[in-house]
Structure 1
């Protein structure tokens, strides 16, 4: 009996080991299949080629005259000297009248700020169309808005320049004076998402040469003990003009010069994260999102155009030639969108062409909603199209 019992136990152990081994093999196979399926789906979606588009909605608008468009929330802002309108889902959500000969505008989160250059008038709108009017202390040069509705305006009284910070409730948080012979003339300004930090670019002429300077201000407790709230200044832009400074996310700001660019990281005070000067290339275009910075560069020797894309750490992601003659170039998620007055083309970050189609009508502006949906604006209409 003992022998039979031993044989039975040994047999049961073999069966158990076999079943365990079979289960492990099955689980491994399932995991491998799942990983392969996920990779197939990821790369399939990432590099999916779209062959056509369909029109899902249409808005009758006029683009004749000096009209501008900006992406806003799930739709777009249309603005001119006479008014500001918000469109979403193929409908006009709100329309506000203004009277500004030379408007400057900025959008962030739910807020839209528009101001008349050379005047003291600022108007702030939110997503519902609620309107608030503000008066700057001196004539306005430029204006920027944060996600919480705090506004930064560069002002000029003819003798000196100022940066004035105003909350959406009308409280003037600060006003910093910059003398022309000091920092120079302000070219551009941007305010961080939280409304606490400001970056400004200045242009000055000294010893017969043009110089630019990038200055950071902090209007939180961090900057209380700093002179004029200045927490950092960078003057490496000799013989350069810095026409564009921007907070592209909460703690990352970029300075785009005519021959170089800098990525700054600023939590409390700014540090230079990455910088590159283009010695043998001319910057034709620059574009950016909250995660990437892109350039179209013309090689001085060959005359060829190259698209280069960097992440916010300065890592170069794309460097490829292009012969596309475009009106505008921008990011659409992790894709590069280019268009001219008759064609829309989009490349993935692996620089694979994933969409290339002529549009029925003369294109004025393209505003991406997401990877597959865009607002295409022509002379007399705006269409929401879906790539298929």
Structure 2
């Protein structure tokens, strides 16, 4: 009787062992396939696409486009509108601007009038506020909470104002151009706590750049005008500055890129020296890129670095370009409206396509392998393949 029970127990265990072995075999295969799909999605090469959906848009040569919260913002001198990812109108804002510019941070969009006096702060749902200034705006930027920094100018005096989204002024300062120099750019950190200003001046016939960093958190309390750091760069200008997502700063000049940390007492962490002249620059969340010619100007190269100054890759471009920008922190767009290349984080060509009819814009979405393709009168949501 006992022998029979032992035999039955052995028989019962065999299917369980088979199931156990099957599970051990299936799980690694499933993990492997999932990893391969993810790698293909991130590093695969695509040269065609399918149209998932499309919708009509206003045909106008004066319209500009930008991606916002996975949807599409179109803006011109007369106003701006926002369509969600399905092409449904969310808001339409009228204004009168002669030269509208756009800045974004998180869920906030800023539209301001260069040399005008109007600024609009918008979210994906609605207008957050309108700001009217007394003097013409030279530059402006927005933080993720809607805080706006604006640089204005009157005669030989520059004015730096910081506003809440509803237009309430929360900080102000003056810059005397004859002493401090001419303002070239400003940037506000994503959290709205830091403001950086790049100035240009000529001393004894030599151009030089000055970058001031102001801190409106506890780190700047007790500091005169909240100024926590000043950087001087002789024989160069820094016409463009940007904050990374962690509050560190990048400043671009013709042959150098200065990287300044986000500590309470900012200091320069690294300087990237570039032999050829820098033609174009772009800044991501934690990455920067720039384009140079080679020595005989017969080819152009894309260079990508981490925010700490480590080179990620250098890539020879096979097309001319009218636009270069980060689509995401892992993707860079190079296009001339007819030829388009998207590079991944390793420098490989993620998507390559040549259009018979020129495109107006190519924008990222929140969908996997999906983008917005903008023509003059139509928007297509596509999936690359």
* TM-score for the superposition, normalised by structure 2: 0.86
**Is this contact kept in 1: 2:258–2:270, CA < 8 A?**
yes
Distance change (3 Å), C-alpha of 1:330 and 1:114: closer
Measure, in 1, the Cα distance between the counterparts of 2:39 and 2:61: 43
Distance change (3 Å), C-alpha of 1:40 and 1:106: closer
**Is this contact kept in 2: 1:108–1:145, CA < 8 A?**
yes
Residues 24-78 of structure 1: per-residue CA shift (max 9 Å, x gap): x999988876775565444333322224211222232245333322221111221
Distance change (3 Å), C-alpha of 1:40 and 1:104: closer
Residue equivalent to 1:218: 215
Distance change (3 Å), C-alpha of 1:352 and 1:113: closer
Instruction: Tell me the SS of whatever aligns to 2:380.
Output: strand
Residue equivalent to 2:18: none
Instruction: Tell me the SS of whatever aligns to 2:346.
Output: coil
Distance change (3 Å), C-alpha of 1:372 and 1:41: closer
- Structure 1 position 172 matched with structure 2 position 140: no
Q: Which runs of 4+ in 1 moved over 6 A?
A: 25-32
Residue equivalent to 1:79: 75
**Is this contact kept in 1: 2:202–2:208, CA < 8 A?**
yes
Residue equivalent to 1:160: 157
Residue equivalent to 2:141: 144
**Is this contact kept in 2: 1:165–1:172, CA < 8 A?**
yes
* Two-structure CA RMSD over aligned residues (Å): 2.6
Instruction: Tell me the SS of whatever aligns to 2:312.
Output: strand
**Is this contact kept in 2: 1:201–1:242, CA < 8 A?**
yes
Residue equivalent to 1:4: none
C-alpha displacement of 1:299? 1.7
**Is this contact kept in 2: 1:59–1:91, CA < 8 A?**
no
Structure possessing the higher radius of gyration over alpha carbons: 1
1:46 to 38, 42, 49: 42
1:262 to 255, 258, 262: 258
Distance change (3 Å), C-alpha of 1:67 and 1:203: farther
Question: Pairwise mapping of residues 298-309 of structure 1 onto structure 2 (< 5 A)?
Answer: 298-301=293-296, 303-309=298-304
Structure 1 unaligned regions, length at least 5: 1-24
- Structure 1 position 284 matched with structure 2 position 279: yes
Aligned length: 365
Residue equivalent to 2:60: 64
Residue equivalent to 1:326: 321
Instruction: Tell me the SS of whatever aligns to 2:83.
Output: strand
**Is this contact kept in 2: 1:118–1:141, CA < 8 A?**
yes
- Structure 1 position 365 matched with structure 2 position 350: no
- Structure 1 position 120 matched with structure 2 position 88: no
Structure 2 unaligned regions, length at least 5: 1-20
- Structure 1 position 347 matched with structure 2 position 337: no
**Is this contact kept in 2: 1:105–1:143, CA < 8 A?**
no
- Structure 1 position 314 matched with structure 2 position 302: no
Measure, in 2, the Cα distance between the counterparts of 1:116 and 1:31: 57
Residue equivalent to 2:16: none
Distance change (3 Å), C-alpha of 1:365 and 1:282: same
**Is this contact kept in 2: 1:282–1:300, CA < 8 A?**
no
C-alpha displacement of 1:161? 0.9
Residues 104-143 of structure 1: per-residue CA shift (max 9 Å, x gap): 3322222222222333332222222225222224332111
* TM-score for the superposition, normalised by structure 1: 0.85
Measure, in 1, the Cα distance between the counterparts of 2:52 and 2:204: 59
Instruction: Tell me the SS of whatever aligns to 1:182.
Output: helix
Measure, in 1, the Cα distance between the counterparts of 2:289 and 2:209: 22
1:297 to 292, 297, 305: 292
Distance change (3 Å), C-alpha of 1:339 and 1:177: same
Residue equivalent to 1:14: none
Task: Name the stretch that deviates more: 115-124 or 140-149.
Answer: 115-124
Measure, in 2, the Cα distance between the counterparts of 1:289 and 1:63: 30
Residue equivalent to 1:18: none
1:88 to 84, 90, 94: 84
Distance change (3 Å), C-alpha of 1:28 and 1:302: farther
Measure, in 2, the Cα distance between the counterparts of 1:63 and 1:298: 36
Instruction: Tell me the SS of whatever aligns to 1:332.
Output: strand
Distance change (3 Å), C-alpha of 1:258 and 1:59: farther
Distance change (3 Å), C-alpha of 1:122 and 1:43: closer
